[in-house]
Amino acid sequence: MKTTDTATPGVETPGPSGGPGPAVAKTAAPTPPKESGKEGAVLNVFSHGVLVIWAIMVVMPLLWAVMTSFKTDRAIFTSPWSLPDGLHFENWSRAWSQAHMSDYFMNTIVVVGGSLIGTLLLGSMAAYVLARFDFPGNRFIYFLFIGGMSFPIILALVPLFYVMQNMALLNTPHGLILVYIAYSLPFTVFFLTAFFRTLPSSVAEAAFVDGASHTRTFFQVMLPMARPGLISVGIFNFLGQWNQYLLPTVLNTEQDEKVLSQGLVQLATSQGYKGDWSGLFAGLVMAMLPVLAAYIIFQRQVVAGLTAGAVK
Amino acid sequence: MQHGKYRFIVGFLAAPLALYALFVIWPFIQSIYYSLTDWSGLSPEFGFVGFDNYSRMLDDEIFWKSLQHSLTLAVVLPLVTVGLALFFAFMLNVGGRRRRGAAIAGVRGSGFYKIVYFFPQVLSIAIVALLFQFAYNPNSGAINSGLKLVGLGSIQPDWLGDPNLALICVMAVLVWSTVGFFVVLFSAGMASIPRDFYEAALLDGANRFTTFFKITLPLLWDTVQSGWIYMGILALGAESFAVVQIMTVGPNGGGPDYSTVVLPLYVYQKAFRDGQAAYATTIGVALLLVTLAFAAIVMKLGRRERLEF
């Protein structure tokens, strides 16, 4: 199983033009045919054509949302495609304060922060033991964790709701953190077990001979060595937990505790009588931009982290 | 290295395993038990009813509708998404103009395309669903007013309000948001196929169309197959729940006239809207069986000799 170096070979340097428009113009221009013949040139124009169309289809809705967030409510309904008559930044401030976007952001940061740390800590502990130690039941526990990846979560959610209710964990940030960790463990354990198996055992043995305990060896020797794997799986979990919708929708329905995704949905449903659509779009864009910006900065690691699971 | 080994193993496994057992394993086991009771979820009392819920489910018209829609998603979505993604990835990697000395070449700016295509993957499915719900709005949405702008004002479908179109609208959103992930995934796989294979085939007179089916696809088969399963599980699970629940009409989604209701949404509605927790877990068990059957069928159909290169 190779899990670490999956996506890197596919990443090529972006074209010098940086945009689809100029690239097409350049390549579609008639060039003196080489011995490769016409087939290549025709195909090249065709492939650029379809690729540009899909790129536009991906970017358009996002740009449209950004544009709409600066419009007045009236303009949104009367002329959805025209440019805003001015930059109505008050939509943004209204969304931030009156529509509780600031609270939703805060709640999400607390929950995702806590659960991300917990997931990485508990996940790496379990994965390390499962990858490095032989003991009766090792395989059974491993497959118990892995099995959780393919089961439909909604089935467990019905009883889980009442388990949480009985433990007074419903609608609390710490309850949500514990659930996020538990549901992130299958993939985390799967990924990190494979990763710990690839690390050389000589370093750990040397540390052990020098008198370090198992625990100390893990925290001071193995964890630092596992950093690339932890980053990949950390990004994967960060996005999954930040974007999580199903779990909070069922387990976290208190208005003050809502996280970003469900807060936005609630904002949208309440517009039926409030009518603050521009504020809703400002909220949507506000939630979209940080994740997109982070993705563009760290895109190599994000892609590696997200595709690592699918290629085994 | 035996010294204190078992104490260490137990110490390290206890917390993750306990958390996982309490919040994941135990609810799954409970739900199968609850499906044999008449528990409402509202009161702690319930009685054992055997397979009553299951026979009720078989007579439930809405269950059959949600099953039909979920199966449609599980068949159509992987087909369309994986197909489109393979097409785009092949264009990215092989569709370029030939450069000197290379039999095949990727298009210029393929890195740029891959970055853009991946955008929807990092967004919350809730945000995507809200965005498209607004785009589909029949009166002032982006799509219908766009149609007016280009002179197609006579075509103004009701989109999510039309029972014949609503499920297609839902599927289009799921395709939009997932294709990019598979393009990047398949691209990485294609980039690792040795170039000489293509060179040899092109020398022998094969065109690029043939090379795709004779070289690329067979060598990429394992990735395609796991992508297929991944997409199917996604179509049966949380993603389709979110899109249908947020975008479609009716109390908690699924409308119009149950034309978009899917199994996970029906479970949610029965448990948390109608107070029929036991019956909800019964439908959940059916969903579990469908998911496992789907994975088994894809594995069975997709089994081929593994090609090493």
pLDDT tens figures, A108-127: 999 999 999 999 999 999 99
DSSP conformational letter for B105:
-
State yes or no: pLDDT of A274 exceeds 80: no
DSSP secondary structure letters along B255-308: -STTSS--HHHHHHHHHHTS--HHHHHHHHHHHHHHHHHHHHHHHHHH--PPPP
State yes or no: pLDDT of A32 exceeds 50: no
Residue B37 bridge partners (DSSP): B48
Q: Does A259 touch chain B (CB under 8 A)?
A: no
Percent of chain A with pLDDT over 70: 84
More confident residue, A198 or B307: A198
Q: How far apart are CA B200 and CA A129, in angstroms?
A: 48
| Interface mutation target, options B22, B24, B234, chain A, most CBs of A under 10 Å | B24
What is the separation of C-alpha B227 from the centre of its chain, rounded to a whole number of angstroms?
10
- For B44, name the nearest residue in chain A, comparing CA atoms only: A162
Question: Considering Cα of B132, then B137, then B138, then B143, what sign does the dihedral take?
Answer: negative
Q: Which of A80-84, A253-257, B190-194 is least confident?
A: A80-84
pLDDT value for B149: 80
Residue with tokens 């609810």: B27
Q: How far apart are CA A30 and CA A37, in angstroms?
A: 13
pLDDT value for A279: 83
Domain at A99-275: CATH architecture: Orthogonal Bundle (1.10)
ipTM of the modeled complex: 0.85
More confident residue, B42 or A259: A259
Query: A with B: how many residue pairs have Cβ under 8 Å apart?
Result: 320
State yes or no: pLDDT of A249 exceeds 80: yes
pLDDT value for A141: 93
Q: pTM for the full model?
A: 0.84
Question: Considering Cα of A166, then A172, then A177, then A179, what sign does the dihedral take?
Answer: positive
CB distance A151 to B291 below 8 Å: yes
Q: Looking at residues A98-105, what average pLDDT do you find?
A: 86
In chain A, what are the domain boundaries?
Answer: 18-94, 99-275
Low-confidence stretches of chain B (pLDDT beneath 50): 1
CB distance A305 to A4 below 8 Å: no
CA angle, corner A287, sides to A299 and A112, nearest 5?
75
What is the separation of C-alpha B96 from the centre of its chain, rounded to a whole number of angstroms?
30
Smallest Cβ–Cβ distance between B23 and the set A133, A144, A178 belongs to: A178
Chain B residues touching A185 at Cβ < 8 A: 16, 19-20, 24
Q: Does A146 touch chain B (CB under 8 A)?
A: no
pLDDT value for A6: 39
| Interface mutation target, options B185, B193, B234, B273, chain A, most CBs of A under 10 Å | B185
Q: Does A209 touch chain B (CB under 8 A)?
A: no
Q: Is B130's CB within 8 Å of A183's CB? A: no
State yes or no: pLDDT of A53 exceeds 80: yes
pLDDT-derived band at A18, boundaries 50, 70, 90: very low
Q: How far apart are CA A207 and CA A210, in angstroms?
A: 5
pLDDT value for A107: 92
Domain at B60-302: CATH architecture: Orthogonal Bundle (1.10)
Mean pLDDT of chain A: 80
pLDDT value for A73: 76
Q: How far apart are CA A236 and CA A250, in angstroms?
A: 22
Q: Is A64's CB within 8 Å of B109's CB? A: no
Q: Is B16's CB within 8 Å of A189's CB? A: yes
Q: How far apart are CA A7 and CA B182, in angstroms?
A: 11
- Whole-angstrom CA distances from A11 to A5, A15, A48, A224, B107 are 12, 12, 18, 26, 13
Task: Please choose, from the candidates A219, A200, A244, A214, the residue with its C-alpha nearest in 3D space to the C-alpha of residue A121.
Answer: A219
